[in-house]
Amino acid sequence: MLHRESGVFKTSYAADMALYPLPIARWTVAAVLLIFVVVLPLSLQEYYLSVINLVLIAIVGALGLNILVGYTGQISVGHAAFMSVGAYTAANLAVHLHLPFWVTLPAGGLMAALIGAIVGIPSLRIKGLYLAIATLASQLIIEWVINHTPAISGGAQASIEVPRPTVFGVELKTQGELYFFLLAFAVAAVVATLNIVRSRIGRAFVAIRDQDIAAEIIGINIFRYKLLSFAISSFYAGVCGVLYTYYFGIANYEAFQIVVSIDYLAMIIIGGLGSVLGSILGAIFVTMLPIAIRIVVEAFGGYFWDTAALSAVAASMRLIIFGLLIIIFLVVEPEGLNRLWRNIRNYFRVWPFSY
């Protein structure tokens, strides 16, 4: 975070293990929260909130994938399928049993965790590219099952409309209301991840990532922790899928196809594998950059093209610039935006006396 850290002495283990070891870090977190809870919703137009809402949902999904890929080192290209598992579980519960979101949301997450743990079983025998193909298979199998099981998908259209979530009798439907709904879960996901990765479980994950045989020798139960990693990651994915479902008002598996899995992989690779801040930055980057590029092209493209031609140009330019920027960022810093941020921070940490 943004602070200097000289003159801080830790005198107990509890202080050493604190989530925010420095007092100023707590203040920074409080200030950031204040911005997100008060300043942004009051000052931004609904459109910008809708963009932030999409980012918030993506953050939850990216965090989950980062636990699996970044922290445990198990590659997965089936993340979107677990989202659809969560989405359909929640939608069926909400429509057929009329359950509120605070029941359907954890239920969707748990169901995704269960399926995720089953899908994770091959990871006990295979890794790397082989595991990628195994998870790719699970993505396709889950898609197929949803598409062909009316009991899950709710009919030929494979989409189930869900009612808007209600909190204390208030129906959340505007972008501003949904913003707080999504923000709460995004913050919860961030805090939970921060705590998971610095706990015994998180350290076991990192040990498995760095060298799984060594991890087994020092007594980490590989079977348990690999499956646990898949389950936790899928839980996040399931919750992310439920959030999508409530945000759009519909569960539709066509919104969770293989390209979405790839998008999430891109998020964590651009953001930085094995870091919480990296997941957040990656989600912001992948969701907002295309929009920002489009706005810039729209603002300045008028000098070069007429309106009708500009539409075609803007669409293509966006893809080209987006691809270029990803390459540039990864060439500048292969470990992602998180590392880039840390480099900048380390530079200013001792600035202007950098010697």
Partner 1 sequence: MSKRVRLGISFSLGLMGLMLGPAIAQDKEVVIGLQCDRTGATQIVGTTLCPAYHDYVALVNSKGGIEGYKIKVIEIDNEYKVPPAMESHERFKMEGAIIDGVYGTPQIAALNKKLEEDKILGTSPGFGTAAAADGKKYPYTFPIAASYWSQGAAAVKFAKDKLGGNLKGKKIAYLYYDNPAGKEPIAVLEDLAATEGFELRTFAVPAPGVEMAAQVLDITGRFKPDYVITHLFGRSPSVSIKELKGKGYPLSKVVALVWGAAEADINAAGGFGAAEGYSCMQFAGVGHEYPVITEINAMYKAQGKEPPKEQANSVIYNRGVFQAAVHLEAVRNAIKAKGGAKPTGEDVKKGMEQIKDFTLDGLVPPLNITPEDHEGGGWVQIWTIKGGKFEKATEWFQAYRDVVRKHITAIN
Binding residues vs partner 1 (CB under 8 A): 2, 28, 31-32, 43, 45-48, 50-51, 54, 57-58, 147, 155-159, 161, 164, 173-175, 244, 247-250, 252, 254-255, 259-260, 287, 290-291, 294-296, 299, 307-308, 311-312, 314-316, 318-319
Give me the residue label for tokens 């930085």. Answer: 272
Of the pair 222, 255, the CB lying nearest partner 1 is at: 255
How far is it, in rounded angstroms, from Cα 51 to Cα 46? 9
- Report residue 18 as tokens: 């604190």
Integer Cα distance of 154 and 160 in angstroms: 6
Letter string b/e over residues 48-84, b meaning 16 or more CB atoms within 10 A of that residue's CB? ebbbbbbbbbbbbbbbbbbbbbbbbbbbbbbbbbbbb
Query: How near is the Cβ of 30 to partner 1 at its closest, in Å?
Result: 10
Q: Write down the least CB distance from residue 228 to partner 1, Å.
A: 30
Query: Residues 248, 93: contact at Cβ < 8 Å?
Result: no
Q: How far is the CB of 237 from partner 1 (least distance, A)?
A: 16
Q: Is the dihedral of CA 136, 238, 253, 262 positive or negative?
A: negative
If the CB atoms of residues 48 and 127 are measured against partner 1, the closer one turns out to be: 48
Nearer to partner 1, 179 or 205 (CB): 179
Residue 174, both tokens: 């505007």
Nearer to partner 1 (CB atom), residue 53 or residue 338 = 53
Q: Given the complex with partner 1, which of 225 and 256 has the nearer CB atom?
A: 256
* C-beta closer to partner 1: residue 49 or 228: 49
Cβ distance to partner 1 smaller for residue 90 or 158: 158
The answer to whether the beta carbons of residues 113 and 234 sit under 8 Å apart is: yes
Give me the least distance between CB of 295 and partner 1, in Å please: 5
The minimum distance between CB 319 and partner 1, in angstroms, equals 5
Q: Work out how close the CB of 257 gets to partner 1 at its nearest, in angstroms, rounded to a whole number.
A: 9
Backbone angles phi, psi at 171, to 5 degrees: -80, 125
Could you give the dihedral angle defined by the CA atoms of residues 347, 32, 55 and 167, in that order, rounded to the nearest 10 degrees?
160
The nearer residue to partner 1, 214 or 262, going by C-beta atoms, is 262
Q: Taking Cα atoms as reference points, which of 151, 191, 183, 155 lies closest to residue 167? A: 183
For CA atoms 43, 45, 50, 52, the dihedral sign is negative
Asked if 193 contacts 68 with a C-beta cutoff of 8 angstroms, the reply is no
Report in angstroms how near the CB of residue 325 gets to partner 1 at its nearest.
16
**What are the CA-CA distances from residue 160 to residues 47, 57, 65, 338 (Å)?**
26, 19, 26, 38
Q: How far is CA 295 from the centre of its chain?
A: 24
Rounded least distance, CB 69 to partner 1, Å:
21
Residues near 269 by Cβ (< 8 Å), separated by ≥ 6? Answer: 282, 330, 336
Residue whose CB is less far from partner 1, 53 or 135: 53
Closest separation between CB of residue 8 and partner 1, Å?
Answer: 18
